[in-house]
Amino acid sequence: MFRRIKLFIKSTRFKSTIWYSAIFLGLEIVLGLTIYFYLRNSLYNQLDVSLTKQCTLIYHFVSEKNVELYDFIPDSIYSSPDELVYDLAFEAIALNPNNTFIQVKYKDKIIFQTENLLEFNKILTDSSSSEHSIKTFNDIKLSPHTIRASVLNKNNYQIITAFPVVLISNALDSLTDLFITIAPIFLVISIVGGATISFKSLSRIDSIINRTKYITTQNLNDKIAGEEFDDEYGRLAKTMNEMITRIKKSIDYMNQFSVSAAHELKTPLTILRGEIELAQRSKLTPEDYKEILQSNLDETLRLINIVDKLFFISKTDHALIRITKEKTNLNSFIINAIASTSKLTEEKNIDVKYDIAESSHTEIDIDVALMNQVMYNLIENAIKFSNGNGEVIIRSGKTKLNKIFISVSNYGEYIPPEYYSKIFERFFRLESSHNRKTGGTGLGLSVVKSIVEMHGGEIEVESSPNGLTAFTIIL
């Protein structure tokens, strides 16, 4: 139970749902705070504008009447400046709510206060010298809420209009209550929505996983469904199918390689066994025993050659061979390579000709030991498969792209163009070359190609119907 819960918590479904819900909740909070502060600032600005307009109206009503307010003399109509100002500013005062506080000073003398100020014997004070200002203060006697005031100082008049922010507070409190109510609802909706989207979107991943589990070496021809969708899952299915195809090709290649290697190793071993059994059962002359021993030696050398090449190929496949390049003279390198095959040329009565390069000072940057093996294999093949004219021609020089080339050519069997790439595959041999007298294993050209590519070069083959075949190394 706990293990399943632990696995679920670690799952992408759970994580994506949490991320989706967290992002949604974060956006919800940001949106709520944005609305809250925007509304708060908007309401305060509206209140400030309203209070400022009241100050301005009262100032205009009072200042436009040319009466003496400081040394006021009562008459039959007005017994005090208070009554006069109230009458003059009646329009501005009467339109305000009962809890609006208004105070008018003239030359530092209070000439008018609203009843709510007179009731508590409160005097509003402001020491600022600016013509217009907004202030906030608290007075528990006047109101349990914060009071916002607008102050106008102009021409010996100081007019203060104030109003409690109770309506703003109530509006903001209502908004907060609404947010607290709907936020959890939206959070639950986001969690359910995120989980639904996550489960539905990842269900195709589960389908791919479940299908992949049943793919083995026995059913590599099976494909994962979903390639037809042009989205991430479709691309994943396509990539998986491409990988399965590559794995199948690799396994097929390894199987073919194993069969070919077993066949190449089995043939000399069978010959060795047959000759040894013949020597055990029969009474042979010393010359016969000598011939059998020589044959055994040839087959043993053939086995060693096969194993050496297989070992080299294995090392190249696993990038275990490190080349050590050095500058060497091109002509000297080729001449030494020809000299290393002198015994073989004498046995086969083959003449190896080398057309000296145009510049005897041309240098080539190679691993001499490995490239000697390349030249030996190419010359050996040219000698083995030469026809009756008994001549191998080697050329060297530079291409039009200023690259160095080495060409080994002979007159022998025609190679059709469709086999140009196949002859470099391991254990591949043309049907006519399967004659054991050639002593070939089908590995030599594969080794040659690997070494040339390790040097950053390439090898090409070209054969004409008249039998002239050339292998060209380009470095």
pLDDT, tens digit (0-9, with 9 covering 90-100), for 4-15: 777 667 777 778
What are the residue ranges of CATH 1.10.287.130 in the chain?
A: 232-317
pLDDT in tens, 242-260: 888 888 888 887 777 777 7
CATH, domain range 232-317: 1.10.287.130
| pLDDT tens digit sequence for 314-350 | 888 777 888 889 999 999 899 999 988 888 888 778 8
Tokens (6 digits) for 292: 């059998």
Residue 174 vs residues 45, 72, 346, 473: alpha-carbon distances, Å: 19, 49, 109, 86
Separation between Cα atoms, residue 364 and residue 342, nearest integer Å: 23
CATH top-level class for 326-474?
A: alpha beta
Please check whether residue 59 is in contact with residue 152, taking contact to mean a CB–CB distance below 8 angstroms: yes
Q: Which two tokens stand for residue 59?
A: 């100032």
The CATH class for the domain spanning 2-170 reads alpha beta
Asked if residue 436 has pLDDT above 50, the reply is no
- Kindly state the tokens that stand for 93: 């005062």
Q: Which pLDDT score, from 0 to 100, does residue 193 have?
A: 82
What's the whole-number average pLDDT of the chain? 81
Closest to 386 in 3D by CA, of 459, 461, 469, 463: 469
Question: pLDDT tens across 200-230, in order?
Answer: 777 778 888 888 888 887 788 888 887 887 7
CATH 3.30.565.10, the chain: domain bounds: 326-474
Average pLDDT over residues 39-67: 82
Query: Would the pLDDT of 427 be above 60?
Result: yes
Of 146-150, 423-427, 454-458, the one with minimum mean pLDDT is: 423-427
Q: Does this model's pTM top 0.75?
A: no
User: Per-residue pLDDT tens for 129-174?
Assistant: 788 888 888 888 888 888 899 998 888 888 888 888 888 888 999 9
Res 438: pLDDT: 53
Taking only the tens place, the pLDDT of each residue in 397-417 is: 888 888 999 999 998 888 888
**Max Cα distance, the chain (Å):** 168
Distances (CA, A) of 95 to 99, 307, 418: 12, 111, 104
Per DSSP, the residues of 260-298 read HHHHHHHHHHHHHHHHHHHHHHS---HHHHHHHHHHHHH
